[in-house]
Amino acid sequence: MRQSQLFANTLREAPAEAEVTSHRLLLRAGFIRQLAAGIYIFMPLGLRVLQNVERILRDELERAGANELLMPALQPTELWKESGRYDVYGPELIRLTDRHHREFALGPTHEEVVTMLMKNEINSYRQLPVTVYQIQTKFRDERRPRSGLLRGREFLMKDAYSFDTTWDGLNRSYRAMYDAYHRIFERCGLTFRAVEADAGAIGGEGGTHEFMALADIGEDTIAVCTHCGYSANIEKAISREECFETEGNTIPKYDKIHTPGVHTIKELTEYLKIKPVNVMKTLIYLADGNPVAVIVRGDHEVNEIKVKNALGAETLTLSETETTESVTGAKTGFAGPIGLSIPLLVDKVVIRMKWGITGANESEYHIKNVVPGRDFSVEHVGDFRNVKEDEACSRCEEGKLRLVKGIEVGHVFKLGTKYSEALKARYLDANGKEQPIIMGCYGIGVSRIVSAIVEQYHDERGIVWPPAIAPYRVHLIPVSIRDDMQRKIAEDLYDALRQIGIDVLLDDRDERAGVKFNDSDLIGLPIRIVVGKDAIHGKVEYVERSENNKQLLSVEEVVMRINTGDKFR
C-alpha cells in the first residue's frame, strides 16, 4: 500500500475524553474513529488489524472442529421471553419494534437464536456433537461505554456454541475450546491468564473460565497464587482466610457505647482506638427488593456476586438511605446485627471473631463485645467477601494470593441444559427417547482484543504491534521522495518485498522526514526500512520497532532478512 493513497490521518493529540492508552493511541494513529459513545468506525489500518485477529480465530477454531456460520443481529424478543432472559438482561438489551408492532432485540449474544436453530435442525443423537461459531457484531446498551473498543455498545464478538449428548461430551467440547483459546491469545501475542469465574446472567450449571489479558487499566481484578497455578476472578476467588482472634476467653455481655458523629469504619477505629479487624461491618442490601443484612469484618469488602448467588437472587443492590433507616431505625453508618429482623448473612471470617464492635441500630451508638452466635444468629454463614492481597492460597500450602488487573478478552461456559430445556431443543437418543441437548458457549471480544493488545504493546512514541497482528509488516520510508535514487531504491524494494508476499506500507508522501518518522512510530509496524543518504552506496537502514536495533544493510540483505525472519512470519 502506498501511504499517499492510504485513508489515514494521524493526530498530534487525542481527544480529551480518551483516557486509557490504547484508546488514545488507536485514535491518534488513525485506526479508529468514534461515531457516538461506544460506537466506532474501523479505519483501513484498524480494519486490517481486526482482520488479522479474525484470521487467527478462524484458523484455530476450524482446527478445533468448529463450523462457521452467521446469525442475524435482529432477534425476535419472543425467544428472550421463552428463555426467561427478557427481564433479567435489563436495559442492556436494545429493543425495537417493526412496522407490524412486533418487538425485536439487537442481539447482545446468541444463545436463544442458536438453540432455536438446533431445535429445528437436530433430531437424532447421530447428528451430535457439533460446535458452531460466528464472528458478528453485538449490541449492548452498556451503562458506561468506555475506553474505546474495550467497552463498546456495538462491538465485534466471536461466539461459539457446542451441542452434546452427555456431560462427558460437553467436557470434551469445552476442553477443545479452552485449548483453542490458549492458542488464539498466544498467537495474538497477549500475556493472559485463564481464571475461574462466576457464571453471571448467562447462567448454567457447569464450570466457567475467563481469559484475562493482564493490564493495569483492566476492569477486572484477579487473584493469582504465587506458588501453584490457581487464578480466579475476585468475584469467585477464595483463600484460606486468616482470621484475627483476640485475647481472653470470656467476653463480657455486650454494651452500648456513645459514638457521636462516627459514620465510617475509619472514624470508628480512630474514635475507639481499635483496628478495623475488631469491627463487624453490617451492610443492608435489597435482594430482589427484600432487605437483607450482610456482615463482614471491618477490613473486608462485601462480594455482591457471592451474596447474590447464595441467595439465588436476580438483583442485589445496596439499599438507599431511606430503606436503611426504616430497616435499622438509625442513620446510615449505625447498622448492626443485634435486633434486626431481616435475614443476616454472616461471612465465615466473622464467626471466628471472638468479639467485635457493631452498629447499634440507633443513631450515634455502637455496641462493643458482640459475640457471633451468642448475640446474633449465625444461621446463614458463607463466603461473602473479596479475598485480599497476601492471603494464603486455598489450593496449595505455600502460596499467597496476589491481586492483579485484567481485561476479559474471552469467556467459556458450560451451560448444560439451561437453554435447551427452556426452548425445548431435544434430540432422540439411541433408545428413541427425547433428551435435552447439553450446551456450552464460548465468547471472545474480537474488537476488545485489539485494544488489549495495544495496552500491552506500546511505548512513549506509539503502538508496537506484534507481527501477527500488525496491519502491514514493513514500513518502507524514503526520506525524500524527491530524491531520484531514494525513490528508485524504495520502489524496487517495495516490489521485491511484495513479490515474496510481504505486506508493505510505502511512505511515498512528500513530507518532511520528521513527520514520516513520527507517524511511523505512532502506527507501529514491526519493521522499518529507511532509504536515506546511504542510498547512493546501495545501503538502507533496517530497524525493528520493538528493538531499536538500527543496521545498515544492502537491499539484497534486507530482502533476505525479512524473507527468513521467522518471528515476522
Q: Which residues bind ligand ATP (CB under 6 A)?
A: 109, 140, 142, 151-152, 155, 157, 200, 408-411, 443, 445, 447-448
Least separation in angstroms between CB 149 and ligand ATP: 6
Which position's Cβ is nearest ligand ATP?
445
Closest to ligand ATP by CB, 302 vs 409, is 409
Q: Of the candidates 316, 441, 439, 486, which has an alpha carbon nearest to the alpha carbon of residue 384?
A: 316
DSSP 230: -
CA atoms within 13 A on the CB side of 506: 21
Cβ 201 to ligand ATP shortest distance, Å: 8
State which residue, 152 or 337, has the beta carbon closest to ligand ATP. 152
Residue holding cell 427452556? 422
Contacts of 115 (CB under 8 A, 6+ apart): 83, 161, 419, 420, 422, 423, 425, 437, 439
Give yes or no for a contact between 386 and 198, defined as CB atoms under 8 angstroms apart. no
Nearer to ligand ATP, 21 or 358 (CB): 21
Three-state SS sequence of 289-305: CEEEEEEEECCCCECHH
Q: Are 192 and 213 in contact (CB under 8 A)?
A: yes
Q: Which of 337, 343, 377, 381 is nearest to 359 (CA)?
A: 337
Cis geometry, peptide bond prior to residue 129 (ω within 30 degrees of 0): yes
Compute the distance between CA of residue 152 and CA of residue 271 in angstroms, rounded to an integer. 46
Angle subtended by helix axes 446-456 and 44-63, to nearest 10? 110
Cell numbers 514520516 correspond to what residue?
Answer: 516
In the complex, the smallest distance separating the C-beta of residue 152 from ligand ATP, rounded to whole angstroms, is 4
Nearer to ligand ATP, 219 or 557 (CB): 219
Task: Evaluate whether 239 touches 389 at the Cβ level (below 8 Å).
Answer: no
Residue 135 Cβ, how far from ligand ATP at the closest point, in Å?
12
**Residues 6+ positions from 398 with CB-CB distance below 8 Å:** 227, 228
558: nearest Cα among 469, 477, 471, 482: 477
Shortest distance (Å) from residue 522 CB to ligand ATP: 24
- CA-to-CA dists, residue 110 to 57, 105, 124, 366, angstroms: 18, 11, 23, 51
Among the listed residues 124, 123, 139, the one whose alpha carbon sits nearest the alpha carbon of residue 38: 139
Q: Taking the complex as a whole, how short is the minimal distance between the CB of residue 457 and ligand ATP, in angstroms? A: 18
The least CB distance from residue 178 to ligand ATP, in Å, is: 14
Q: How far is the CB of 208 from ligand ATP (least distance, A)?
A: 9
Contact 520/499 with Cβ under 8 angstroms? no
Alpha helices in 259-405 (DSSP H): 265-272, 304-311, 321-328
The residue (of 23 and 140) whose beta carbon lies closer to ligand ATP is 140
CB of 408 to ligand ATP, least distance (A): 5
Can you tell me the distance from the alpha carbon of 310 to that of 308, in angstroms, rounded to the nearest whole number? Answer: 6
Nearer to ligand ATP by Cβ, of 158 and 366: the residue is: 158
Closer CB to ligand ATP, 396 or 403, in the complex:
403
Least distance (Å) from ligand ATP to the CB of residue 402? 21
Say if CB 156 and CB 446 are below 8 A apart: yes
How are strands ordered across the β-sheet holding 103-106? Answer: 74-76, 103-106, 94-97
CB of 385 to ligand ATP, least distance (A): 20
Least distance to ligand ATP, CB of residue 220, Å: 7
Query: Minimum CB separation from ligand ATP for residue 234, in Å?
Result: 12
- Kindly tell me which of 40 and 355 has the beta carbon lying closer to ligand ATP: 40
In the bound state with ligand ATP, the residue whose beta carbon lies nearer, of 140 and 528, is 140
Q: Which is nearer to ligand ATP, 410 or 524 (CB)?
A: 410
> What is the DSSP annotation of 113-160?
HHHHHHHHH--BGGG--EEEEEEEEEE---SS-BTGGGB-SEEEEEEE
Minimal distance, residue 245 CB to ligand ATP, in Å: 37
CB of 409 or CB of 506, closer to ligand ATP:
409
**107 or 356: whose CB is closer to ligand ATP?**
107
* Residue with Cβ nearer ligand ATP (443 or 524): 443
Q: Three-state SS for 24? A: helix
Nearer to ligand ATP, 193 or 411 (CB): 411
